[in-house]
Amino acid sequence: MMGRTHWSTIIAIFTAACGGSGGTGPPGINGKDAGADATAGSAGLDAGLDAGGSGGTAGAGGTAGMAGMAGMAGAGGSGDVCGDLGPEPNETEALANPACGVAPCEASDCDKDGSTAFGGPLASVTGTIGPGDTDFLRFKGKDKLGLCTVNAVATTKDSGFRLCAFAACDKSGTKLNGCSKGTIASSPNQLPGCCVEAPGTVELNHDCTSSATDDDSATIYIRVDEATVCSDYTVDYHF
């Protein structure tokens, strides 16, 4: 029978040949703990994103500036579209210019006291007339109760318009007994007179009805209108 010492020696030799048993390792990582760690990591990532904050809302575009104000309309011109040689405006009886250029522009009942074409001292009427335009001129006719006869006349050698003359008695109502030349017409202010298509002559036979002394002194209004094209004109006159 072997002794105890002998068996101990045999076990020691066997253990050395086969390798000793490994020591006991540390306990493995608990699965629950590993899962918790993973969850914590995810929460940390989310927190990081939250810390960054969402981007600010883009600013709205600025309101467009107001459009500039439109320019003011130009003032309306007269009816004349031509380069007028005469004074303007003179489209109505109230705006009529002196026929001789300077007031009072008086002519007696003798023809030689009229305008240039009749040998008189007064200047002829000159101007330019065009489509849509009207020119009014005036002169004072004085009945001198002498040897001359009152017969207001306006005449032109030019063409392309209408020529008229109207009478307005100084002291009383005006009556037209007819036109020695031209056709009977009325002015915008209802003055009686005569008209003709130029070239031509108008001659009035007027009477100042309420004059106790038969004084036929009157203001004579000359009108040029109804032009078809721009035309220069010269008009002569007497009382």
73 in any annotated domain:
no
Q: Are residues 239 and 114 in contact, defined by beta-carbon separation less than 8 angstroms?
A: yes
**CATH of residue 105:** 2.60.120
pLDDT at 84: 74
HSE-CB of 154 using CA atoms within 13 angstroms: 33
Q: What is the mean pLDDT of residues 125-154?
A: 93
216 in any annotated domain:
yes
pLDDT at 31: 32
Taking only the tens place, the pLDDT of each residue in 83-101 is 776 678 899 999 999 999 9
**β-bridge pairing 192-197 and 200-208:** unpaired
Instruction: Specify the higher pLDDT residue, 41 or 129.
Output: 129
Range from 39-43, 60-64, 186-190 carrying the lowest mean pLDDT: 39-43
pLDDT at 181: 98
Mean pLDDT score of the chain, rounded to an integer? 75
47 in any annotated domain:
no
Taking only the tens place, the pLDDT of each residue in 159-181 is 999 999 999 999 889 999 999 99
DSSP letter assigned to residue 221:
E
170 in any annotated domain:
yes
Instruction: Specify the higher pLDDT residue, 35 or 155.
Output: 155
Q: Are residues 113 and 239 in contact, defined by beta-carbon separation less than 8 angstroms?
A: yes
Q: What is the mean pLDDT of residues 26-33?
A: 38
128 in any annotated domain:
yes
How many distinct structural domains can be found in the chain? Answer: 1
What is the extent of the structural domain holding 167?
93-238
Q: What is the mean pLDDT of residues 183-201?
A: 98
Q: Are residues 231 and 198 in contact, defined by beta-carbon separation less than 8 angstroms?
A: no
182 in any annotated domain:
yes
pTM of the model: 0.66
Q: Are residues 175 and 185 in contact, defined by beta-carbon separation less than 8 angstroms?
A: no
Report how far residue 239's alpha carbon sits from residue 227's, in angstroms, rounded to the nearest whole number: 26
pLDDT at 212: 73
Q: Residue 130 is encoded by which pair of tokens?
A: 């065009």
35 in any annotated domain:
no
Q: Are residues 194 and 185 in contact, defined by beta-carbon separation less than 8 angstroms?
A: yes
Range from 44-53, 76-85, 105-114, 160-169 carrying the lowest mean pLDDT: 44-53
67 in any annotated domain:
no
Report how far residue 125's alpha carbon sits from residue 90's, in angstroms, rounded to the nearest whole number: 13
Residue 27 has a CB neighbour count (10 Å cut-off) of 6
pLDDT at 72: 43
Which residue type is seen at 67? Answer: A
